[in-house]
Structure 1
Amino acid sequence: MKLDVNALGTFYRMAREGAGLAAGRLTSMTGVQTRVGVTKLNFMRGSEIRAEIDDGSEKVGVRVELSAGLEGHSIIIFDRDAALQVVQTLVKEAASEEFDEMDQSAVTEVGQIMTNGFIDGWADVLGTVIDVSTPDFIEGETAEPFFGDLETAPSDEDLALLFRSQIEAVGREIGYKHYLLPEHDSMSEILERQRVDGSDGIEYDKLVGFDKLAQQGATEVASAVTTLTGIETVVEIRRLNFVSLETIPEEIANEKKVGVAFSFDGTPSGYLLFLFDEASAREIVEATVPSPPDNEFGEMGTSAIKELGNIMASGFLDGWANVLDTTIDHSPPEFIHDMGAAVIDPVVIDLGENQEYAFVFDTQIQAADRAFDCDIYAIPNEDDLERALNDLDVDRVEDAKTTAEFPVDEVESDT
């Protein structure tokens, strides 16, 4: 299966259109004002999908099987409390703890109407008819009841193309997740029809290999943080997204962020950002500067964060260069201390001059024993990424070695 940026763009528009229709129908049915939140095409491994669902909370969902123009499964999963709100909105009384037949019927009706909105939007964009089975009501605390018996669900190490849409209720929390798990051959046929003549496209297996490489890079970053700061960290969340450039800033929380930004040149070129909340950035300064200053983000603190960013960037990008048998140079670190989306707006503006969409390697690193996190955004140039993937030898990925070293003594003496 080959992935063409134009074809993926069509699917992205399809997801946005479907989310818009679903939001409108949810508003009509419940009277709750809604808006479409972030829409993404995720490439996620089965293990990551299951970890996202297996958070210990109770959930209820509505699942349908798709056929004809698009084969696969569409699943809407509500947090249990959100489902209770849906029931109360429709039947004007509190739902029972066990979700009795009336409660299940109310949730199923909402789920079906939302699903039909999504699917009608997809069918409009694809210019086809998509048949939908009778909806099934499902409840559980793990992924097993929702995905366990589906052939379209990916195994732990398989990379699935996953459609994720979010609808936000205004003034009311109705938390849910929507998953479209398309059948592989059906998706391949649709992608082929949407390809632009003359486009080479990207072999799906090579994207899988590059995703593994990004995972190795994130693990190397976590190791660098632990080595330099003594803070034990792990790669907690990792996704490969295909998104519209204009939506990337929506992912950044509207709070003060501290970080380091790089541009990188070679095959591929692009941008790399490491972002911390202020509390995490203070942890770094206190762990790496012998006598931390009162102003953690003054000259000494800024120098410490930039030096850590330098080492993290090398650890992330060296593996790419080794596997691709090329050179990737990154710029000097640029220190960032700003509100939310402002930290990434310059990157989006620059890339937006030549492309509408982007693959974004989106990773979160967390500490096990304290409030610490680091968000990594790697955004390659679209054309460069296609060339890099076409040259990628997937068999070399597992043997990729980074060459970054962690000169702790030098960092401490510099700061």
Structure 2
Amino acid sequence: MKLDVNALGTFYRMAREGAGLAAGRLSHMTGVETQVGVTKLNFMRGKEISRDFDDGVDKVGVRVKLTGALDGHSVIVFDREAALSIVETLVSESDAEEFDEMNRSAVTEVGHIMNSGFIDGWADVLEAVIDVSTPEFVEGVTAEPFFGDIEETPGENDLALLFQSHIETVGAETGFRHYLFPRQRSMARLLERLRTSDGIDYDKLDGFDRMAERGAEEVAKTATTLTGIETSVEIRRLNFVSLEAIPEQVAEEMLVGVAFEFDGTPSGYLLFLFDEESAREIVDAMVPMETDVGDEGGFGEMGQSAIMELGNIMASGFLDGWANVLDTAIDHSTPEFIHDLGAAAVDPVIIQLGENQDFAFVFDTLVMADGKEFDCEVYAIPDEDDLERALNDLDVDRIEDAPTTAEFQEVENA
């Protein structure tokens, strides 16, 4: 199975169109204004899907089977309290405390209409027919009741393309998640139809995801060495998103970070973003003396230098691992210090990338510290054309054997 940016871009438009139709139908049914949240195409392993889903919250869902232009399953999942809130809106005589027959029927009808909205949007984009089965009500806490018997869900270590959309209600707690699990053979047919280039073998993308995991592990090791704070790394997923959607994912708070441009095969941008408290922990660990971090949250010369030094070493660990696996050379720029609010921290990178492309693969990675506030979001955004060339040349057998050594450049004081 092969994919390319054009095919994935079509899938992304399908997801956005479907989310828009579903949001409109939810508003019509409940009288509550809705808005489409972040839409993503996620490349996720089965263990990551289970981890994200198994958050200890009671959930209810409605799932349908799809046939025709796209085969698979579509699943709408509500937190239990959100579903009861919808029931209370629709069924005036309901006590909205338990899922009796009436309440189950109401949620099933809502879920079916929502699923149909998504599916109609996909069919419109594909200019094709997608048939939908009778809806099935599901409830539980873990992923098992919702996805366990769906053939299309990936194994624990298998990488699958997952459509994920989120719609939010304005002024009310009735958000939900949507999952599409397409059948691989059906996806392969669509990809073949939609591709406009030779494309990338799917197993190469799987290999690139594993390569990113190795690079991220190197980041954690170098961070531990430099700061003395024991750190661990978590690759959450590889996303394919519209560039304009990336700022929507960034927390709306003051962020401190380091940005790099990297050049080679592939080229692109790399960002490390910390919340202010995490950045202060880093400065305290790296500069064991009182620094000029002001009461208003400013980072003075020594603080900026410490953050940039850590970012420089982490970037080297990440990118040198890639270069070794790809058997290429990847150089990165000197670090650029960032201290800004939410989306403004990533806007300069998005603007530069947007001159040549509409979509991006984003490695969403979290570096965590044991016992300290040291959370770091890592955004690795390669140029899409460079990435396709690099992956076509990737020898997946090299991934586990290639070294992930890093050479560090000295960072001059800001």
Shorter-chain TM-score bucket reads over 0.9
- CA gap of 1:237–1:28, structure 2 versus 1, over 3 A, is farther
Paired residues for 1:54-203 under 5 Å: 54-92=54-92, 95=95, 97-196=97-196, 199-203=197-201
- CA gap of 1:279–1:6, structure 2 versus 1, over 3 A, is same
Alignment partner of 2:392 out of 390, 393, 404: 390
Q: CA deviation at 1:414?
A: 8.1
Give the equivalent residue in structure 1 for 2:382.
Answer: 380
For residue 329 of structure 2, give the secondary structure of its aligned residue in structure 1.
coil
- What is the CA–CA distance in structure 2 between the aligned matches of 1:323 and 1:404, rounded to whole Å? 13
Paired residues for 1:226-375 under 5 Å: 226-236=224-234, 238-295=236-293, 297-375=299-377
For residue 6 of structure 2, give the secondary structure of its aligned residue in structure 1.
helix
- Retained in 2: the 8 A contact 1:84–1:94? no
- What is the CA–CA distance in structure 1 between the aligned matches of 2:172 and 2:374, rounded to whole Å? 29
Q: CA deviation at 1:168?
A: 1.1
Q: CA deviation at 1:367?
A: 2.8
Paired residues for 1:13-28 under 5 Å: 13-28=13-28
For residue 177 of structure 1, give the secondary structure of its aligned residue in structure 2.
strand
Q: Deviations over 1:287-339 (max 9, x none)?
A: 11010314161000100000000110011111110011111000001000011
Give the equivalent residue in structure 1 for 2:40.
Answer: 40
Q: Deviations over 1:180-238 (max 9, x none)?
A: 00000100001111112xx1111110000001011111122122222222333322451
- CA gap of 1:195–1:298, structure 2 versus 1, over 3 A, is same
- What letter matches 1:130 in structure 2? I
For residue 399 of structure 1, give the secondary structure of its aligned residue in structure 2.
coil
Q: CA deviation at 1:399?
A: 1.4
Q: Deviations over 1:116-154 (max 9, x none)?
A: 000000000011111111111111111111111111000
For residue 162 of structure 2, give the secondary structure of its aligned residue in structure 1.
strand
- Retained in 2: the 8 A contact 1:62–1:111? yes
- Deviating more after overlay: 167-176 vs 231-240: 231-240
- What is the CA–CA distance in structure 1 between the aligned matches of 2:95 and 2:242, rounded to whole Å? 39
For residue 178 of structure 2, give the secondary structure of its aligned residue in structure 1.
strand
- What is the CA–CA distance in structure 2 between the aligned matches of 1:72 and 1:323, rounded to whole Å? 34
Q: CA deviation at 1:86?
A: 1.1
- Retained in 2: the 8 A contact 1:74–1:181? yes
Unaligned runs of 5+ in 1: none
Alignment partner of 1:401 out of 378, 400, 403: 403
Q: Deviations over 1:1-58 (max 9, x none)?
A: 1111111111111110000000000000001100111111110011100100111111
- CA gap of 1:57–1:405, structure 2 versus 1, over 3 A, is farther
- What is the CA–CA distance in structure 2 between the aligned matches of 1:329 and 1:189, rounded to whole Å? 38
- CA gap of 1:29–1:187, structure 2 versus 1, over 3 A, is same
- What letter matches 1:377 in structure 2? Y
- CA gap of 1:230–1:174, structure 2 versus 1, over 3 A, is farther
Give the equivalent residue in structure 2 for 1:8.
Answer: 8
For residue 142 of structure 1, give the secondary structure of its aligned residue in structure 2.
coil
- What is the CA–CA distance in structure 1 between the aligned matches of 2:373 and 2:176, rounded to whole Å? 26
- CA gap of 1:370–1:109, structure 2 versus 1, over 3 A, is farther
- What is the CA–CA distance in structure 2 between the aligned matches of 1:281 and 1:20, rounded to whole Å? 38
For residue 322 of structure 2, give the secondary structure of its aligned residue in structure 1.
helix
- What is the CA–CA distance in structure 1 between the aligned matches of 2:71 and 2:272, rounded to whole Å? 38
- What is the CA–CA distance in structure 1 between the aligned matches of 2:325 and 2:5, rounded to whole Å? 23
- What letter matches 1:251 in structure 2? Q
- Retained in 1: the 8 A contact 2:40–2:165? yes
- Retained in 1: the 8 A contact 2:366–2:377? yes
- CA gap of 1:97–1:162, structure 2 versus 1, over 3 A, is same
- Retained in 2: the 8 A contact 1:87–1:93? no
Q: CA deviation at 1:88?
A: 1.1
In percent, how many aligned pairs have the same letter? Answer: 73
Q: CA deviation at 1:253?
A: 1.2
- CA gap of 1:106–1:214, structure 2 versus 1, over 3 A, is same
Paired residues for 1:212-227 under 5 Å: 212-227=210-225
Unaligned runs of 5+ in 2: none
- What is the CA–CA distance in structure 2 between the aligned matches of 1:170 and 1:195, rounded to whole Å? 38
- What is the CA–CA distance in structure 2 between the aligned matches of 1:64 and 1:385, rounded to whole Å? 35
For residue 246 of structure 1, give the secondary structure of its aligned residue in structure 2.
helix
- Retained in 1: the 8 A contact 2:214–2:404? no
For residue 173 of structure 1, give the secondary structure of its aligned residue in structure 2.
coil
- Retained in 2: the 8 A contact 1:139–1:145? yes
Aligned CA-pair RMSD? 1.8
- CA gap of 1:170–1:212, structure 2 versus 1, over 3 A, is same
